[in-house]
Structure 1
Amino acid sequence: MAGVVLFAERVDWHTRSLLAALKARGCKPKVVSLKACGFAVGETAHGLLLPGFADDLPDACFVRSLPAGTLEQVTHRLGVLHALRELGVGVMNDARAIERCVDKSATTFLLARAGLPTPRTLVLEDAATARLLVSQAPGDSVLKPLFGAQGRGLQRIPPRGEVPAPEAVGGVYYLQDFVAAPPRAAPAGTHEDYRVFVVGGRAEAAMVRRGTSWITNIHQGATGVAVAAEGPLADLAVRAAAAVGAAYAGVDLICDAEGALKVLEVNSMPAWRGLFDATGRNMAEPLADHLVAHPVAA
């Protein structure tokens, strides 16, 4: 494989790891920003503007990050990824999977449709109805940004608690039942959930994320501890990634009060530094293996 594109905005630890892994497999990877790409219909042979490629197409593409921007900018960048797939280029992950995972309501719908256990979730725009639903919830509710990551913007609302004004949540209320942990599941005063990293239909590594806050993201101060990526934990994670069509994913799961696993979220552009620190496994290796083995769009 000659030209492999890594779509990224900066050459951080993750990007450097992927570059090294791809070079070790005989690839010539190039870091490209999606901001620099576009359409050039009638100008290039394939109709796209891809820095460094002219009339050629990359052998395969890996999306490390999708830069934030206006609705028009994000739509345009996703359009480039859609076009690459239509041209037969393998994109990991492609625009369809990214769209399904960025929109938490779409993720939750697809998880439930695939028969996967996930907390009761209600997504709506009317503030009065949102307040009513919170007041009638069996316990606390978790209000999440429809578009968000790394635990930012999460709010835990008790029954009959106040919900924010519509403008504070982008006009959409994503409400999910708070999942209480089983008794004595974690050390006193701590909360925990699981992150499983899936590549190509296989659970490659897993950790339990443990912290003093109910928000257990590593970026929010939680600590990762390695656990075996096998059994029901691995099975649910693999099925969750498949439900959203993700070639690779970071899948978040939690145990409920009865000890049963539930899928919380599927991340289509997950970081893995915390997982590496916990397990000693660098996910750049299986990611590079999969990208090289599947250069053509599925």
Structure 2
Amino acid sequence: MSSPELSIAVLASRVRAEEKRIMAALERRAVPFSYVDARELSVMLGGGPMAHQVFLNREIGQFRAGYAATALEARGAKVVNSAASTTLCGDKWLTSVALQRRGLPTPRTALAMTPDAALTALEEIGYPAVIKPLVGSWGRLVTPVDNPRIAATVLEHIAALPSPQSHIIYVQEMIPKLDRDIRVIVVGDEALGAIYRRSSEWRTNVARGGVSEFFALSEEDAELAVAAADAVGADISGVDLVVDSEGMTSVLEVNHRVEFAGFQEAQGDRVDVADRIVRHLLSKAAA
């Protein structure tokens, strides 16, 4: 870890390709920084100012990321993304509520307080639909259901899970789409660009083997992505858009700890995501 007088820190428990790119960009700009392992972080409530003015929160675990951001902000540090944004983006229902309040197009969505109530919600939404965990990434435990029989089977398994949070069911209509969706990376109030994510299965997450391809982002979709990021208060985000068979675009998710290695490979020299993130951090530090 670098000396304590430095003002920028990268918080993460796992240094992936994205964190390496960001730290390399900091070094290229000769910006002093520290790497802070989130697993070793402890914050005393009521203490003086932190050694770092700005923390880039890249912690992969949702609960650790949220509590770390809250603790650091309580000590006066600026955290990117903020604790409030981390909480919103980390919960699919809270994200949907924020997008709906902003009037942005999203798939029809419902929240059921029990697995039994979810069957009623699914009947109202209609099949095919998707059952998603409230918290999760990389498409894990996201399950498409084509009819009530399959839905009842999935929900029976969910009812047997030990966590009470698992029994709160998030259901969403399945948007008829092509074999791809759109990922837009937003930093500050700018959409840096977009990629198609293609897959042979219905989930297009790169972590699940999806392939990234360059996509020329339209002004309309760029504005939609920036509005989605702003709706959840995210400084840095990956906004997932989907276009249905009639050409209508909806916002699926806003990811606050966005992975961008595949995006960068597809973009080539058009944009340097890590450098744009560093520029944003420097503007936060200057402010």
TM-score range, shorter chain: 0.7 to 0.9
How many angstroms apart in 2 are the aligned matches of 1:293 and 1:136?
47
Q: Distance in 1 between matches of 2:221 and 2:98?
A: 18
TM-score with structure 2 setting the length: 0.88
Aligned mate of 2:129, from 121, 124, 141: 141
Task: Encode CA deviations 1:186-214: one digit per residue, 9 max, x unaligned.
Answer: 4xxxx111000000010002101111111
Structure 1 spans left out of the alignment, 5+ residues: 47-55, 69-73
- Asked if the contact 1:134–1:159 (Cα under 8 Å) also holds between the matched residues in 2, the reply is no
The question of whether the paired residues in 1 share the 8 Å contact of 2:243 and 2:249 is answered with yes
Letter in 1 for 2:57: V
Q: Could you tell me whether the CA contact under 8 Å between 2:184 and 2:195 is conserved in 1?
A: yes
Equivalent pairs counted in the alignment come to 273
1:59 aligns with 2:50: no
1:12 — aligned with what? 16
| Residues 67-119 of structure 1 deviation map (CA, whole Å, 9 limit, x = unaligned) | 36xxxxx37x6344224334443211111111000110000000000000000
User: Where does structure 2 lack aligned partners over 5 or more consecutive residues?
Assistant: none
Q: CA deviation at 1:57?
A: 2.1
Matched, 1:229 2:232: no
Counterparts of 2:68 and 2:118, CA distance in 1: 36
Q: Does 1:179 align with 2:179?
A: no
Whole-Å Cα distance in 1 between the matches of residues 125 and 101 of structure 2? 22
Match of 2:90 among 90, 102, 121: 102
- In the TM superposition, 1:254-293 aligns within 5 A as 254-280=242-268, 281-293=271-283
In structure 1, how many angstroms separate the alpha carbons of the residues matched to 2:220 and 2:160? 40
Mapped to 2, the partners of 1:158 and 1:79 lie a distance apart of: 37
State how 1:10-49 maps to structure 2 within 5 Å: 10-41=14-45, 44-46=47-49
CA contact (8 A) 2:45 2:75 kept: no
Per-residue deviation at 1:262?
0.1
Counterpart of 2:285 in 1: which secondary structure?
Answer: coil
Task: Say if 1:199 and 1:247, in contact at 8 Å, map to a contact too.
Answer: yes
Deviates more, 1:217-226 or 1:238-247: 217-226
Distance across 2 between alignment mates of 1:202 and 1:230: 13
Write the letter of the residue equivalent to 2:160: E
| Residue pair 2:14, 2:60 contacting (<8 A) in 1 also | no
Structure with more helix by fraction: 2
User: Are 1:170 and 2:166 an aligned pair?
Assistant: yes
Tell me whether 1:249 sits opposite 2:237 in the alignment: yes
Q: Does residue 125 of structure 1 match 2:113?
A: yes
In the superposition, the TM-score normalised over structure 1's length comes to 0.85
Cross-structure match for 2:284 = 294
Q: Does 1:90 align with 2:78?
A: yes
- Deviation (angstroms), 1:235: 0.9
What is the alpha-carbon distance in structure 1 between the residues aligned to residue 68 and residue 14 of structure 2?
19
SS in 2 for 1:279: helix
Residues in 1 aligned to 2:72 and 2:275: alpha-carbon distance in whole angstroms? 24
Could you say what secondary structure the match of 1:204 adopts?
strand
Question: Residue 239 of structure 2 contacts residue 251 of structure 2 at CA under 8 Å; is this kept in 1?
Answer: yes
Aligned-pair CA distance for 1:158? 1.2
Residue 66 of structure 1: how far off its partner (Å): 4.1
Distance 1:256 1:138 in 2: 16
Supply the RMSD in Å over aligned alpha carbons.
2.1
Gap change, CA 1:80 and 1:209, over 3 Å in 2? closer
Amino acid at match of 1:57: A
CA contact (8 A) 1:7 1:65 kept: yes
What secondary structure does 1:39 align onto?
Answer: coil
Task: Please give the alpha-carbon distance, in whole angstroms, between the structure 2 residues aligned to 1:9 and 1:200.
Answer: 24
